[in-house]
Amino acid sequence: MDIAKRDNANPILRPSDLKPCIEGMEITCLLNPGVFRMNGLTWLLLRVAERPRQQEGKISFPVYNAKGEIEVLTFDKDDPALDATDPRVIQYKGNYYLTTLSYLRLVCSEDGVHFREDPAYPPIFGQGPLESFGIEDCRVATTADGYFLTFTEVSPVAVGVGLIETRDFQSLTRHGMIFPPHNKDCALWEEKVGGMYYAFHRPSSPELGGNYIWLAESPDRIHWGRHHCVATTRPGKWDSVRVGAGAAPIRTERGWLEIYHGANEQNRYCLGALLLDLDDPTRVIARSEEPIMEPIAEYEQTGFFGNVVFTNGQVVEGDTIHIYYGASDEVICSARLSISEILNSLHA
Ligand code: MAN
């Protein structure tokens, strides 16, 4: 059952609300923001996806070349070696490319609904060969030691998880890849448990296994071990093909509450929740049978890639979770969920 209360102002941000950062490009999609509070404001770290304005009969997309400069590649749409059936990814002669190049961009707000850019906070672009197809879907963990950003690093060799540390979003420390390929959907926890740092991550296994949520421990947030699988996909259900963590989990009296996304064979993305033991988070206490949020609004059903609600950022205030989410891989929306209502909806 969908228990999310969508904001009346949805979508709160659309591609046309911002100017492209890369010369000669257009903003195709705004997606899946990381969320945090800083200087009394709510901030979204948006994933912005850009590409060149498309010409009739062609597909063009940007990549970083070996010198770190943006280069545009163009294929003929009717080239038999091209598979462009997925609007997000194309295949050409056995190689994969993304149709857009993503980077991260900050917007801030007093009221959590109307967002603006502040020129003092520059965008964060991919850097180096492991990010040559861009960086995506950033989670922001707010900790006593500053902000920790985990995001997908995409390149021709891999999809993995990168880590950036910052105190002010003006100077950044890049720690490189912390979870090797194929891995994404990494959410660092905001407090230690039993003296260790924790992270959800989502390795993909092509043979045995699948696209499951795992939990790992670390002494320093850089070296990760003691991996445990905490949620698998469930055949026949809304989360039958892939699952992945959202933002950092929320500490509740009944356990750690995590909102996650699940997709089925039709690539329909919904949200559900997991509850983990407070002292031993590898132990799953309960999980959603039905989604707590589904793509039902018009802007969640149609867009760049329709039938998607995807969240990786939230602000918690008492019993209310203000989630920010990407709808149809194109626009940014917000909704409220009640922690007690989610907890009461879970099944052991
Ligand atoms: C999938 C989707 C895309 C993303 C690529 C690479 O195809 O999640 O949005 O760009 O993976 O991460």
CA of 159 to the centre of ligand 1 (A): 9
Q: Residue 154: CB within 6 Å of ligand 1?
A: yes
CA of 180 to the centre of ligand 1 (A): 16
Q: Which atom of ligand 1 is nearest to the CA of 329?
A: 9
Q: Give percent of the chain above pLDDT 90.
A: 97
Contacts of 11 (CB under 8 A, 6+ apart): 299, 327, 331, 332, 333
Residue 113 burial (CB < 10 Å; 0-12/13-18/19+)? middle
Q: Which atom of ligand 1 is nearest to the CA of 49?
A: 10
pLDDT digits (tens, 9 = 90+) for 310-337: 999 999 999 999 999 999 999 999 999 9
CA of 61 to the centre of ligand 1 (A): 14
Query: What confidence category does residue 24 fall into, taking pLDDT thresholds of 50, 70 and 90?
Result: confident
Q: Is the dihedral of CA 178, 134, 114, 326 positive or negative?
A: negative
Query: What confidence category does residue 23 fall into, taking pLDDT thresholds of 50, 70 and 90?
Result: confident
Residue 276 burial (CB < 10 Å; 0-12/13-18/19+)? buried
pLDDT digits (tens, 9 = 90+) for 104-160: 999 999 999 999 999 999 999 999 999 999 999 999 999 999 999 999 999 999 999
**Dihedrals φ, ψ of 25, to 5°?**
-105, 165
Alpha-carbon distance values, 168 to 39, 144, 147, 335 (Å): 10, 13, 8, 27
Q: What pLDDT, on the 0 to 100 scale, is given for residue 1?
A: 84
Closest CA to 90 of 133, 123, 145: 133
Paired tokens of 23: 């010369």
CA of 293 to the centre of ligand 1 (A): 21
Mean pLDDT computed over 266-286: 98
Q: What pLDDT, on the 0 to 100 scale, is given for residue 302?
A: 98
Give, for ligand 1, the residue of 31, 48, 89, 179 to mutate: max count of ligand atoms closer than 8 Å to Cβ: 89
In this model, does residue 52 exceed pLDDT 90? yes
pLDDT digits (tens, 9 = 90+) for 332-348: 999 999 999 999 999 99
CA Rg value for the chain: 19
Under 8 Å between Cβ of 110 and 41:
yes
- pTM flag (> 0.95): yes
The amino acid present at 271, given as its one-letter code, is L
Mean pLDDT computed over 285-289: 98
Q: What distance in Å separates the CA atoms of residue 127 and residue 115, rounded to the nearest whole number? A: 27
**What mean pLDDT value characterizes the chain?**
97
Query: What confidence category does residue 22 fall into, taking pLDDT thresholds of 50, 70 and 90?
Result: confident
SS3 (DSSP) at 262:
strand
pLDDT digits (tens, 9 = 90+) for 222-246: 999 999 999 999 999 999 999 999 9
